[in-house]
Amino acid sequence: MDWDMDPFVVIAFGRKVFRTRVIRHSCDPVWDEKLLFHVRRCETSFKVQLSVLDWDKLSSNAHIGDVYFDVNELVRHAPQPDKDTGLYPVGGEEGEKGAEGMREYSLPLTTAKEMRWQARYNPVIRFRAKYQPYDMLRQRFWKQYLAQYDTNNMCALSYVELRAMLESLGSTLTSTTVSSFFTRYGKHPHEDEISIERTVMCLEEELGGPVREKKKRIGGNGDAEEGEDGGLNPNPVERVINIKNCPLCHRLRLNSKADMDIVTHLAVCASGDWNKMDKIMLGNFVTARQTQRELYTKALERVGWWDNRIRENSANVVIQNRMTGQLEVEKIQVYDWLGIRLLGAWSGMEGGQARRLLKSLSIKHDIKYDDPGSTKEIPAFIEFHGLKMDEILDPLDSFKTFNQFFYRKLKPSARPMECPTDPYRLISAADRRLMTFATVSEATQLWIKGREFSVARLLGEHYKAEAERYVGGALAIFRLAPQDYHRFHSPVEGKVGAMIDVEGENYTVIPQAIRSAVDVYGENTRKIVPIDSPQFGRVFMVCMGAMMARNIKMTVQEGEWVERGQEFGYFAFGGSTIVILFEKGCVEWDKDLLINGRALLETLVQVGMGIGRGKQFLSALPLRSPSM
């Protein structure tokens, strides 16, 4: 290229964001850096995004281009364990950077807009990547670490060598347990040696054993296990490893975790460069009785990371897109900024003037966006939010007002339903930012900070007598942003009960407001709709208007039987929320949603996507059917 650049790369995978160093004055940079990150089972369908940017000291960094690749492709090509032994094939690494098993990638950079230089230079980014199962990493760690105690280099360990290795890890395995490593293969503990491969198999078996089956360490040949305060633990159990701090990344309080998690952590840290394993001495990180030793190595060649501060009451709203796994910063509309300002440092919204102002703004926007002249704002709205026009059912020129476009219908193929024949699979009610909590009390501890919030207040006067049935029950919060598909659907099948309107305010429902002292959910305008479901019991859907959104339209009738995924209603322009309540023990949320909920991170989901599973419903409610 014919200009100067200071490029760096940002790597994003799910909620994890990293960056390389900046290479000054280069149009053909070589970073030669290594990155390791965890991949949960629920993340194997995610993509990794690599964004190339041009660093600028004074102004914002210039975006050059992006590439994506599927993690699932690496998972499919991952090594497989031996069916008989469970051991993975672990060979030597090629060089100090560990290139063995790496897949080569050379991907063209794509830009948001066509650049003049793109066709001329065809820029690409080259890198190597591989996926390693945790079991494989642990086995590699064991083999590397055990080799340090193999004094005769015969790939086998004596009883003394094995006990020395375990002592260095603070292990509390009894002599009986260690001797069983030998006897199960017909070996005599104090006369024979056991191969490193068999030792790895025994150690992995011990790691995976249930805690209830581990023997209490009463007597034995070693010292009693130390407690957290340095005293003796009165009820010690056998542990394969018991180190307090990680000797590689210096993470604290590792001994509060399960043995398997500790070894996995060490294996991940060590995998940054297996050739440094022979320099690691763990003694200084176990207990006071161990010999003092110096740490010789550091963990990983880090590439740096960005802290998005998702839990802060900051101006940005950070969400995770469940379809891609990427973190996204939500674009905030002007009226939501106004709503935040009116909250006044996230509290103090009790003022009558503020209430009147919000209602006045909402009424004016209703009138404005129902006017035929409002259609001129549709193109700018589409461009600002990057809407997918190929998903919309009706042609653009068929919308006579902006509000008609706002609650547009989508093509049936745009939102397929997960598990269409399984009525116990709970599906998403809307295209929304979702928070799920196992119980209402958990939601109030972590997310809903309104001083006066309660289930009884949320359900209003008509249904407050039923609030006791939802003590200990699960709760989901679906928050719609203006760019979302604003029709909502039934998450379960069942019979629609009496629909009750509750007049109220129009506070914004973005996270900063929900985490303020104002009871937004208990004060906003809402429509309360029960659904009596054979699989989930009585489910309450509380459909709530928010900033600028007062009109809640239902497309079902009281007494009507609805199917999962059937359209339920829609919101006119503005922000909105649906709160769904379940009785205790009726639903179990998908694990990734619970993890994000406890991390105070909203998850972007779509209509029809599976979000939980119903349990056998045993309430006294009579079961409804379509014929009733």
Does residue 262 contact residue 254 with C-beta atoms inside 8 Å? yes
Tens digits of residue pLDDT in 596-623: 999 889 999 999 999 999 986 444 344 4
Domain count, the chain: 3
pLDDT at res. 93: 44
What's the average model confidence in pLDDT over 518-531?
86
pLDDT at res. 626: 44
* Residue 448 placed within a domain: yes
19/34 same-domain check: yes
* Residue 301 placed within a domain: no
269/203 same-domain check: yes
Tens digits of residue pLDDT in 548-568: 656 789 999 999 999 999 999
* Residue 35 placed within a domain: yes
pLDDT mean across residues, the chain: 79
288-295 own/partner pairs: CB under 8 Å, 24+ apart: 288/226, 288/230, 289/223, 290/167, 290/168, 290/170, 295/247
170/190 same-domain check: yes
- Predicted TM-score of the model (pTM): 0.64
Catalytic residue among 51, 273, 489, 532: 489
For residue 463, pLDDT over 90 is answered with yes
For residue 593, pLDDT over 80 is answered with yes
Tens digits of residue pLDDT in 28-58: 899 999 888 889 888 999 999 999 999 988 8
Question: Among 265, 284, 303, which residue terminates a domain?
Answer: 284
Count other C-beta atoms under 10 Å from residue 378's C-beta.
18
Between residues 124 and 360, the one the model is more confident about: 124
Between residues 411 and 114, the one the model is more confident about: 411
Residue 94 belongs to domain with CATH number: 2.60.40.150
* Residue 292 placed within a domain: no
82/188 same-domain check: no
In the chain, how many H helices and how many E strands?
A: 16, 25
Q: DSSP labels for 114-179?
A: --TTHHHH--EEEEEE----HHHHHHHHHHHHHHTT-TT-SSEE-HHHHHHHHHHTT----HHHHH
* Lowest-confidence pick of 237-251, 432-446, 461-475: 237-251
421/476 same-domain check: yes
Catalytic residue among 135, 259, 336, 431: 431
pLDDT at res. 282: 38
494/601 same-domain check: yes
Residue 250 annotated as catalytic:
no
Question: Encoding tokens for residue 261?
Answer: 């998690």
Residue 347 annotated as catalytic:
no
427/562 same-domain check: yes
180/46 same-domain check: no
* Lowest-confidence pick of 450-459, 473-482, 506-515, 524-533: 506-515
Task: Return the bridge partners of 68, or none.
Answer: 49
In the DSSP assignment, the letter for residue 352 is H
Question: Encoding tokens for residue 476?
Answer: 């989901």
513/575 same-domain check: yes
Does residue 555 contact residue 444 with C-beta atoms inside 8 Å? no
What's the average model confidence in pLDDT over 364-390?
85
Question: Among 132, 157, 178, which residue terminates a domain?
Answer: 132
For residue 179, pLDDT over 70 is answered with yes
Tens digits of residue pLDDT in 133-145: 999 999 999 998 8
pLDDT at res. 596: 92
Range among 146-155, 324-333, 382-391 rated most confident: 382-391
Residue 520 belongs to domain with CATH number: 2.70.70
Count other C-beta atoms under 10 Å from residue 210's C-beta.
6
**Position 292 confidence tier, pLDDT thresholds 50, 70, 90:** very low
Question: Among 114, 132, 150, which residue terminates a domain?
Answer: 132
pLDDT at res. 338: 54
Range among 66-80, 87-101, 325-339 rated most confident: 66-80
pLDDT at res. 332: 61
pLDDT at res. 286: 31
Domain that holds residue 505: 415-614
* Residue 311 placed within a domain: no
102/149 same-domain check: no
How many angstroms separate the CA atoms of 17 and 24, rounded?
22
What's the average model confidence in pLDDT over 410-423?
93
Catalytic residue among 336, 362, 576, 592: 576
Between residues 148 and 118, the one the model is more confident about: 148
Tens digits of residue pLDDT in 268-287: 888 877 765 654 543 333 32
**Position 1 confidence tier, pLDDT thresholds 50, 70, 90:** very low
* Residue 523 placed within a domain: yes
* Residue 352 placed within a domain: no
Count other C-beta atoms under 10 Å from residue 171's C-beta.
25
17/29 same-domain check: yes
Task: Return the bridge partners of 335, or none.
Answer: none
Between residues 156 and 287, the one the model is more confident about: 156
How many angstroms separate the CA atoms of 505 and 492, rounded?
29
* Residue 145 placed within a domain: yes
Exposure of 258 in the CB half-sphere (CA atoms within 13 A)? 12
pLDDT at res. 561: 96
**Position 497 confidence tier, pLDDT thresholds 50, 70, 90:** very high
Helix ranges (H only) for 54-109 are 71-76
* Lowest-confidence pick of 109-118, 158-167, 171-180, 212-221: 212-221
599/542 same-domain check: yes
Residue 431 annotated as catalytic:
yes
Does residue 46 contact residue 329 with C-beta atoms inside 8 Å? no
For residue 487, pLDDT over 60 is answered with yes
